[in-house]
Structure 1
Amino acid sequence: MTRTGRSVVLGLCSYTHDSAAALVVDDTLVGFAEEERLTGDKHTAVFPQQAVRWLLDTAGLDADDVDVVAYNFDGRRYLDAVVTTELLARMPATRDRAQPRADSFRKVHDRFARRMADLRDRFPRARIAPTLHHRAHGLYAFASSHYDAAAVLVVDSLGEAQTTTIGAAERLGGGRCRYAIAEDITDPASLGYAYGAITEHLGWRRGDEEGTVMALAALGDPGRFRDLMREAIPLTQHGFSLDPRWFPLRVLARGYPRVTEAFVAATCAIRAAADDVRPVHADLAAALQERTEQVMVHLARRARALTGARLLCVGGGVAANCVAIGRIVETGLFDEIHVPPAPGDSGTAIGAVIAACLDSHHPLPDGVAGQCYHGPAYPTMDLPSHPRPGMTAYRPAGAAKHFALRLAEGHIVGLFHGRLEAGPRALGNRSILASPLRPDIVDRLNASVKFREPFRPFAPVVLATAAADYFTLGQPAPYMSIASGVTDLTRERLSTVVHVNGTARVQIVTPDANPFLAEVLTEFAALTGHPVLINTSLNVKGQPICGTPDMALDCLAGSGLDALMLEGWWITK
């Protein structure tokens, strides 16, 4: 207990990428925020100073009141990757990198001690609690669901030495939870590593633009490089491996290419970001995506066999691959699949805080299950009539109806409303919305608003009561994390939300989850007959989702947005 008599646990993702913080006070989640949304520095690795300050201020606390600081890695476990060095050094395909790999893991292990010392300096009264990275992923994936019991599959690039884990979780009496990892796959076998390596090879930023490669895959022919991908990522009885002839050993340092010269010779030259996207790039993306889907389905089958569960929670960065998640849904292996709103590393700040609570014999925190709107809000903000040069602001009566009318007229409008959502996808509180009935809308959004590749699709948001009329998914999808098939109605009337592979990454909304967005959809349906909108994140390419009013105004000023609704204020240029 703190000097205030309250139980205070702070969870952190920091020092690596996607810094974030979560705070639990008296067994309730106060909030969660990703630092990039408050600073504008995408994927920042710094200590999440602003997120922590907001959380403590919200709870009326300071650093001395924190009981436990839960960190999203247990750096002592990096040495687990070193034990295979002698074996790798004897194998011709891995000999050259075996020692550099081991040295790099030792260096990260040593760096971890310095990071923990920094946390002790910042929170002098707190106990520092490192958490196994995949445990943090798995606990958050399960706790954010409403399931009483489920299999838990975590697939990412690297957590200490683990890259893939399969386990089971169960809610117990008194709010307790049991979660155990039954089986793992360790580095160098890593699906996230392989996807990131080819993302970089194709000219996009590893750890940021894998979604672009997933979108490009729909334009390619996987047959061209299918055999190569099967060799490079072979399936095993319990999972998969990576062939070092194509993906060399990971070294945790700059200057070590992630694909071999043989891979380059067999596929294509490294593409520079400014180069044209050619058919060979789409074909390589298609083969990578196809193999990723096959591996994920294989892992899901293993999870079903190991646990016997009929529900599945999926976490880790690869869980953001909505097409692969959709493939698992299609198999019918599970009755339902849940992906948390922040499946990547930022969400492990919540997972770490949950782990610390459970280890201290506290229950699962309230406010995690079924929730995604955890960040700062600005409900009382006031604006002058001209908030920026050339901008005009006023508060319309009937905000949702006004918003829907402008959308029906073809306007592209930003929405900044309520608490900031968690994770990489805008879920209606920091969104750009547009009518899917306009045939030119995708070109306008990509070219003049988002400034991104023309082949990138846009996701739909739909009222839950009408979802089955437009999408074939047949299960909840509140966090835009599953690619769904579409109905004839959608293909014929709303083709702008259908990717070339015939799917749509749908967000299904209920009035309980997001009352204002549901009201806008209802009003839009009254005008057009369709409770469906295009929903993309309130940002432009290369920038984080706008987490502050100033960032939202910057987005309006620097893009082709027609208007912005900012906490009830209608702002135009």
Structure 2
Amino acid sequence: MEHKPIYILGTNLSHDGSSCLLKDGEIVAAIEKERITRVKHDGGNDFSTVKYCLEKEGITIEDISLIVQNANFEKDEIEIDRYKGDRFFKKDIKVPIVTISHHLAHAYSALGSSNFESCNVVVIDGCGSPFAQCDDVECETLPTKEHILHTPENFWCEKMSIYKYDSNNGLKPQIKEFSEFSHTRREENFSMPTTIHSIGGVYQLVSNYCFGNMDDVGKLMGLAPYGRVNQFNEKIFELKEGRVFNDFSWQRFLDKPFSSYDNFKNDFQHYADIAYCVQDETEKALVYTFKYLEKKFPNENWAYAGGVGLNAVANAKILSKTDIKNLYIQPAAGDNGIALGCAFYGWRKILKQPFKKHDGSSNFGKKYIKQDIYEDVRLQIVQVQNYIEKTAELLSQGKIIAWFDNGSEFGPRALGYRSILADPTKKGVKDFINKEIKKREDFRPFAPAIIKEEVSKYFKNDMESPYMILVNPMREEYQELLSNVVHKDGTSRVQTVESHTNPNFYSLLKSFGEKNSMPILLNTSFNKKGMPIVETLKEAVAFFKEVPIDYLVLDGAIFSKIGMKMNDLNFNDKVTQKIVDFILQIGLPVFKETIKEETFLPGVLVRNGGLAIDEERLLYPGDLLHEAGHLATLTPQKRVEVYNDVSKNAGDELVTLAWSYAAAKYLNLELNILFHDNGYKGDSSWLVEHYRNGGEMGLPLLEWMGLSYGYKRAEKEKVQSFPAMQKWLRDVI
């Protein structure tokens, strides 16, 4: 009997909304809402993310066995068919729906992908669910349940939770700490955005103070190393009895809130000093918390989630200043990871199934078909065969690459599926990418991606960091050479890459290392300030055309912008040069190289949608126009598939003759350059006379392709007739 898969859908209705689909316990689809709607941190309604996951797997809602959901401050009042808009589900849906609380979802998100048989799970974030909505308070609570229940006006919400897990007994809460919401206390200048004693809330508050918003609190971590020790020497947290409390008094010094970027730059040191203090105090608070928990609940294995877990600097301090042996930090530690936890909760807790071993990949997005690009945009295809080796070569030449490979990664970091890449040794590349491509602040650092087996050569700690969620001090002897990927404090937010999790990106790093002696690339997300990471091919192409990125690698093919030269394309013969410049101008790639194989026409090889030219073997420059005509009159997808001999039938040859004649007229070339005596089966003189006397052989096909018009059609359209061209490249599928 054929096995029917068990599908579980997890969905997050909080900010940073997301959905995740499990098939027999393994993630087969997951997407953040912002990737679809193109609105940073978009959340609430989950119609688009649920639809995305189902479409990726090719199933309907009737195929789902269970739905598990979470919203930060709502539970029983969540409607099946509506939540901040229509949902994908209908009221009469037959699939059971379970709603769970916030920290529980965070905990399962880390647990389900950690591969630990037993561990402790810690959740620390800005704010979790209200006490009344929590499913997991059958443990010690801080403050006591009695105190919380007697002061409901304080609106107590989750602040920190620790759980213990083993495969026999499941996940059990050990301590849950709650904090009053910010309405209970208002400071003169800035009020806490969440609960008043939240570590994440303090970080959000200061981010808002320094940058005028909380859209990218991670910037504060990047600003901190520019601050000075003891310049803003305030005690932010009080640490006592294993707990962290906001001291409040420090907030009175927040007297210059962000008003404009110019003011920020003018007062840069002030904001950097505050950022340094807050980062330092956050690290101390987290190390204190983990030391206390480790002593109270000893375990070799720890899993960690919640938005605070995205602080890569603090994470490294936790590892270096505690005795924790194995720390797994869920890569989408913020609320975008909630959907994963909901799905894993359904699999493990409700269906009582054992966790499946996770392969470490975060590549859960859809794959897109390149035909979409051929239909909608005109790009210059540079290379298809050996594209990884060629990309490494381009990077070694100092080119900046947009890398779009397979489905998107899930989470806030670009991990080699939607990345902008560069040679980290190229002088000034960090400032150039920040200013001209990312359009963001110049103090923000970039991460190095490196093959895992080489990490200890360049960095002091030989540790895995596959998700860019830990910093690692760079060895001093490499800091000057790799200054583009080392921060002011001498650390880097490293991504270690393995072949089994991302084979193409790993191969690119290896190939680059063979050419450049260092298997390291600058890796940053494929987007700019305020923009979610690109999801689709069309978004990738649109952004590529907008900014000064040199090449775009799309799932096995290299593209450049129309008219861009691949390398030195200077030819000694003036006619050859004129023809090559024209071919580039219309959007076909040209390669100057030595051709060793036999070609249909001497010195010219049709490949990768363009022409490779061996100047020493090229006998007749006009042959370039003829072969370009063959390519130009093919459909875009066929154009990249042909190799060497492109003429398949008489029709192909006729339309090519008409196209190349029109090109020769456009370039004011003598027709005997195109129709030379040693070609065209002895008919070259006849062809010259035919077209010189107004002949239109091949025109009907050009007209059918929309490339040129005969006299009657041109008169009707009020345009010039053949040999004038309306466009040079066929773009109809």
Residue 417 in structure 1 maps to residue 405 in structure 2? yes
Corresponding residue of 1:478? 466
SS of 1:159 mapped into structure 2: coil
Q: CA deviation at 1:153?
A: 1.8
In the alignment, which residue of structure 1 is the partner of 2:33? 35
Contact 1:143/1:369 (8 A) holds in 2: no
Structure 2 counterpart of 1:238:
242
Per-residue deviation, 1:275 = 2.8
Q: Give the match for residue 6 of structure 2.
A: 7
Aligned positions of 1:386-397 closer than 5 A = 388=377, 391-397=379-385
Which of 346, 351, 360 aligns to 2:341? It is 351
Of 333, 353, 363, which aligns to 1:373? 363
1:180 aligned residue: 173
- Counterpart of 1:500 in structure 2 is 488
Q: CA deviation at 1:360?
A: 1.8
Q: Quote the Cα distance in structure 2 between the aligned partners of 1:326 and 1:204.
A: 28
Q: Deviation of residue 337 (structure 1)?
A: 1.9
Deviations 1:309-365 (A, max 9, x none): 122222111111100001112114212322122111011100011112223233245
Q: Which residue of 1 aligns with 2:220?
A: 213
Percent identity at matched positions? 27
- AA aligned opposite 2:400: I
- Aligned counterparts, 1:70-469, within 5 A: 70-73=68-71, 75=73, 115=83, 121=90, 124-160=93-129, 161-172=157-168, 177-186=170-179, 187-206=195-214, 208-227=215-234, 230=235, 232-245=236-249, 262-265=252-255, 268-277=256-265, 278-366=268-356, 368=358, 370-378=360-368, 380-382=369-371, 388=377, 391-469=379-457
Query: Counterpart amino acid of 1:178?
Result: L
Residue-by-residue CA offset, 1:286-315 (whole Å, 9 max, x unaligned): 111111111111111122112201222221
2:549 match: 561
Structure 1: segments with no counterpart, 5+ residues: 78-108, 247-258
Q: Distance in 2 between matches of 1:385 and 1:65?
A: 34
**SS across alignment from 1:188:** coil
The 5 A counterparts of 1:488-527 are 488-527=476-515
Measured after TM superposition, the shift of residue 184 of structure 1 is 2.4
Give the Å deviation of 1:115.
3.8
Aligned residue for 2:264, secondary structure, equals coil
C-alpha distance 272-443 of structure 1, shift in aligned 2 (>3 A): same
Q: Partner residue of 2:524?
A: 536
Pick closer, same or farther for the CA change 1:216–1:449 going to 2, 3 Å: same
Amino acid at match of 2:514: A
Alpha-carbon displacement from aligned partner over 1:211-266 (angstroms, at most 9, x marks no partner):
11111111011412222xx2x321121220123555xxxxxxxxxxxx6xx3434x
Closer/same/farther in 2, CA of residues 152 and 458 from structure 1, 3 Å limit: same
Q: Is the 8 Å Cα contact of residues 455 and 463 (structure 2) preserved in structure 1? A: no
Aligned-partner Cα distance in 2 for 1:566–1:132: 40
Amino acid across the alignment from 2:121: V
8 Å Cα contact 1:481/1:505 also seen in 2: yes
The answer on whether the counterparts of 2:224 and 2:279 sit within 8 Å (CA) in structure 1 is yes
What is the one-letter code of the residue matched to 2:39?
D
Do the aligned residues in 2 keep the contact of 1:69 with 1:126 (CA within 8 Å)?
Answer: yes
| Cα separation, 1, equivalents of 2:366 and 2:117 | 30
SS of the residue aligned with 2:559?
strand
Aligned-partner residue type, residue 336 of structure 1: N
User: Do the aligned partners of 1:151 and 1:167 also contact (CA within 8 Å) in 2?
Assistant: yes
Please report how far the alpha carbon of residue 182 of structure 1 lies from its aligned counterpart in structure 2 after TM superposition.
Answer: 2.8
Counterparts of 1:123 and 1:159, CA distance in 2: 30
Query: How far apart, CA to CA, are the structure 2 residues paired with 1:385 and 1:375?
Result: 21
Q: Please report how far the alpha carbon of residue 559 of structure 1 lies from its aligned counterpart in structure 2 after TM superposition.
A: 1.6
Helix, strand or coil for the counterpart of 1:23? strand
Question: Alignment partner of 1:400: what SS?
Answer: helix
2:42 partner amino acid:
T
Deviation, structure 1 residue 443? 0.9
- Pairwise CA distance, 1:273: 4.4
Which residue pairs with 2:589 in the alignment? none
CA-based RMSD of the aligned residues comes to 2.5
Over 3 Å counting, the alpha-carbon distance change for 1:123 and 1:506 in structure 2 is: farther
Q: 1:201 corresponds to which letter in structure 2?
A: Y
Tell me, in whole angstroms, the C-alpha distance in 1 between the residues paired with 2:237 and 2:437.
38
Aligned equivalents of 2:418 and 2:545: distance in 1? 16
How far does residue 503 in structure 1 lie from its aligned partner after superposition?
0.4
For the residues of structure 2 that align with 1:461 and 1:435, how far apart are their CA atoms?
11
Q: 2:86 and 2:552 mapped to 1: Cα distance?
A: 41
Aligned partner letter, 1:52: V
| Greater Cα offset, 184-193 or 399-408 | 184-193
Q: Take 2:373 and 2:23, find their aligned partners in 1: how far apart are those partners?
A: 37
CA deviations on 1:4-42 (whole Å, 9 max, x unpaired) are 95533211112x311110012333322111121123122
Whole-angstrom CA distance in 1 between matches of 2:39 and 2:85? 25
1:225 aligns to what SS in structure 2? coil
Deviation at 1:381, TM superposition (A): 2.4
Aligned to 1:20: 18
Aligned residues of 2:212 and 2:258 also touching (Cα < 8 A): no
Distance 1:342 1:122, change over 3 A: farther
Structure 2 stretches lacking a partner, 5+ long = 130-156, 180-194, 562-733
Residue identity matched to 1:225: F
Distance 1:296 1:431 in 2: 31
8 Å CA contact 2:264, 2:271 repeated in 1 = no
Q: CA deviation at 1:460?
A: 0.3
Distance of aligned partners of 1:116 and 1:407 in 2 relative to their CA distance in 1, 3 Å threshold? closer
Give the whole-Å Cα distance in 2 for the aligned partners of 1:121 and 1:397.
48
Q: What amino acid does structure 2 have at the position aligned with 1:158?
A: C
Matching residue of 2:610: none
* Contact 1:336–1:475 (Cα < 8 Å) also in 2: no
The superposition leaves residues 141-172 of structure 1 with CA deviations (integer Å, 9 ceiling, x where unpaired) of 12222322222221111111102212222334
TM-score (norm 1): 0.84
Q: Is the 8 A contact 1:202 1:271 kept in 2?
A: no
Give the equivalent residue in structure 2 for 1:52: 50
Task: Confirm or deny: 8 A CA contact 1:75 1:112 kept in the other structure.
Answer: no
Shift of 1:491: 1.6
Deviation for aligned residue 1:395: 3.8
* CA-to-aligned-CA distance 1:450-506 (integer Å, 9 cap, x gap): 111111110001111111101123221110100111113422432221100110000
Distance 1:177 1:566 in 2: 43
Does the 8 A contact of 1:217 with 1:285 survive in 2? yes
Change in 2 beyond 3 A, CA 1:354/1:383: closer
